[in-house]
Amino acid sequence: MMTILGKSRALRGMALLALVALAACETTGRPPLQQAALENGAVVVAGPSGYCIDPVTLERRAGRGFAVLASCQNLSGGESGAFVDPMMLTVAVGPAGRSGALPAPEVMAAEAGQRAIAGGGLRDGLSLAHLAAGGNRVLPEGDPRYWRGAFQLNGRLVVMALYAPKDGALAGRDGAAMLQAVRARITALSPEAVAQR
């Protein structure tokens, strides 16, 4: 079973690939998605209004799902979507039955090689860690601060990471609210209960 640290490294690599794909999204002619079902429909990923899923980086392999959320306007090359705060948010979903314990914010921070800064904590089953460094390594011209979140849904561990532009509202306190909103949207769209395999 992959540790949260292993997932973090994998997410960082996927996020870097996502940046390349996001930059090339205009030329692919593939419109952004409003939502995407992962893990045979057990987890349905979507963002709040104005945010879409990049179809280029979407991964739906058995036992592993991955999606990148960003502004619909940015993903469509300005052709659709309202103006929203810019961000890149990754969502990774693990296989059924391997969710394990929900990682504490301190654990997520330690596995990223740092201590959490103010703003994180456990909120209604969502573990949030606000980290001081590393966001600008994933998002060019991004803020060093970034957020990580984790929650369990239908026997799966869902791990999120939010990256925002330098000094952007979502790099600060507003990032926690965004992760809560994305988690609420995913939970609302996903089945209430999925039989364990």
What domains can you pick out in the chain, each with its CATH number?
4-189 (3.40.1000)
Instruction: Give the whole-angstrom CA distance, residue 93 versus residue 49.
Output: 22
- 36: β partners: 45
DSSP characters over 79-135:
SS-------EEEEEE--TT---SPPPHHHHHHHTTS-EEEEEEEETTEEEEEESSSH
Give me the pLDDT at residue 129, please. Answer: 95
Residue 82 to residue 49: CA distance in whole angstroms: 8
Give me the DSSP letters along 67-88: EEEEEHHHHTTTSS-------E
**Residues 6 or more apart in contact with residue 111 via CB below 8 angstroms:** 3, 4, 5, 8, 103
Structure confidence by residue, pLDDT tens digits, 44-57: 999 999 999 999 99
Q: What is the pLDDT of residue 63?
A: 81
Question: pLDDT of 32-84, one tens digit each?
Answer: 999 999 998 999 999 999 999 999 999 998 888 999 999 998 897 766 666 78
Half-sphere exposure of 37 (CA within 13 A, CB side): 6
Size of the chain in residues: 197
Maximum separation of any 2 CA atoms in the chain, in Å: 44
Given a cut of 80, is residue 21 above it in pLDDT? Answer: no
Query: Would you state the pLDDT for residue 80?
Result: 66
CA atoms within 13 A on the CB side of 164: 24
Asked if pLDDT for residue 189 goes beyond 80, the answer is yes
Please check the confidence at residue 95 and state whether its pLDDT lies above 70: yes
Mean pLDDT of 176-194: 91
Mean pLDDT of 4-27: 46
pLDDT at site 174: 94
pLDDT digits (tens, 9 = 90+) for 108-166: 999 888 888 887 889 899 999 999 999 998 888 899 999 999 999 999 999 999 999 99
By percentage, how much of the chain surpasses pLDDT 70? 79
